[in-house]
């Protein structure tokens, strides 16, 4: 992974830092694994805006990702590492022995030509998906299931990883990227290694137009709005607007929104850091 700082030949490139893309091996996606992707523009099924500052953006096609890794007992070979416009991580195209092709989220260090497997018989090497019951303690993992067969839901974005801390009975203790320590069933699959593109956090867009390409519209400061538009709007002059809060009135800093009676609270051993 590497980043490139561009020369300031234009105002938009003066501060821009771009991805080196040295891990990418091809720029042509697998056509059989592409699907159309429709933009909502922040509108719900009634056409009403429910999320602000969304709209426009470059047209994309969705890459069908195998989060379940349910092709067990059949070896696959990494054909290429590709860019995916729908996520921060890179994806790997896998060619299986039976001729099927699938995309998976690429792990850091995954190489073209490398063999990947999934299931209880797989070796705990980068890119292989195993149940938590057979992964050695202390291993760095990513793309973790929360329920057996559900498919990966945790630690999927660029550079993220979790760590398998302990096992006791039917539960494993996993330290998540947020800092939360949680119990997860040992039957759940996880992939060995950290997610690729760890330099994503170092990128600098350089100009406002690049946010528009990503489908993000300009954001209006809440204190500049009228009282009818936001709880922090209104006031004479530069009024502070009270405590920072969302448009729905939920405080923005330090306020815990998780239900105290939620059934899955008993699986959380240590809350994420404030």
Instruction: Report the C-alpha gap between 103 and 63 in whole angstroms.
Output: 7
Which ranges in the chain belong to alpha helices (H)? 208-213
Helix (H, G, I), strand (E, B) or coil at 24: coil
Q: What is the C-alpha R_g of the chain?
A: 22
Nearest to 162 by CA among 174, 180, 171: 174
pLDDT for residue 274 = 64
Return d(Cα 63, Cα 164) in angstroms, integer.
Answer: 29
pLDDT score recorded for residue 241: 67
Q: In the predicted model, what is the mean pLDDT of residues 170-183?
A: 97
What CA–CA distance (Å, rounded) separates 94 from 113?
Answer: 9
**Confidence at residue 26, expressed as pLDDT on a 0 to 100 scale:** 94
- What superfamily in CATH does domain 3-200 come from? Nucleic acid-binding proteins (2.40.50.140)
Domain ranges of the chain: 3-200
Instruction: Find all residues with CB under 8 Å of 41, minimum gap 6, and list them.
Output: 49, 54, 55, 56
**β-bridge partners, 183:** 173
**At 180, is the pLDDT very low, low, confident or very high (cuts 50, 70, 90)?**
very high
Q: For 65, phi and psi rounded to 5 degrees? A: -100, 135
Is the confidence at residue 113, as pLDDT, over 70? yes
Per-residue pLDDT at 160 exceeds 90: yes
| 104 and 153 Cβ atoms separated by less than 8 Å | no
User: What is the residue whose two structure tokens read 């593109």?
Assistant: 197
pLDDT tens per residue across span 16-65 = 999 999 999 999 999 999 999 999 999 999 999 999 999 999 999 999 99
What pLDDT digit, counting tens, does each position of 184-242 carry?
Answer: 999 999 999 999 999 999 999 999 999 999 999 999 999 999 999 999 999 988 887 68
């Amino acid at each position: 992974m590497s980043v490139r700082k561009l020369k300031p030949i234009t105002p938009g490139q003066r501060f821009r830092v771009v991805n080196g893309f040295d891990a990418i091996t091809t720029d042509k996606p697998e056509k059989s694994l592409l699907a159309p992707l429709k933009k909502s523009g922040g509108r719900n099924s009634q056409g009403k805006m429910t999320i602000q500052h969304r709209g426009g953006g470059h047209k994309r096609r969705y890459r069908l990702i195998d989060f379940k890794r349910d092709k067990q007992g059949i070896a696959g070979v990494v054909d290429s590492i590709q860019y995916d416009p729908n996520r921060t991580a890179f994806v790997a195209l896998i060619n299986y022995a039976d001729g099927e092709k699938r995309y998976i989220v690429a792990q850091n260090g995954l190489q073209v030509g490398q063999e990947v497997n999934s299931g209880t018989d797989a070796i705990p090497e980068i890119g292989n998906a195993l149940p938590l019951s057979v992964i050695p303690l202390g291993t760095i993992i990513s793309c973790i299931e929360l329920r057996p067969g559900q498919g990966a839901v945790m630690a999927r974005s660029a550079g993220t990883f979790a760590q398998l801390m302990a096992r006791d009975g039917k539960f494993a203790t996993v330290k998540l990227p947020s800092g939360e320590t949680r119990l997860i069933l040992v039957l759940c699959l996880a992939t060995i290694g950290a997610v690729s593109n760890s330099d994503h956090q170092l990128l600098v867009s350089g100009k406002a137009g690049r946010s528009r390409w990503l489908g993000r519209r300009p954001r209006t400061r809440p204190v500049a709005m009228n009282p009818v538009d936001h709880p922090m709007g209104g006031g004479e002059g530069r009024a502070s607007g009270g405590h920072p809060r969302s448009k729905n009135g939920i405080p923005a800093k330090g306020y815990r929104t998780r239900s105290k009676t939620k059934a899955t609270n008993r699986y959380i051993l240590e809350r994420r850091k404030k």
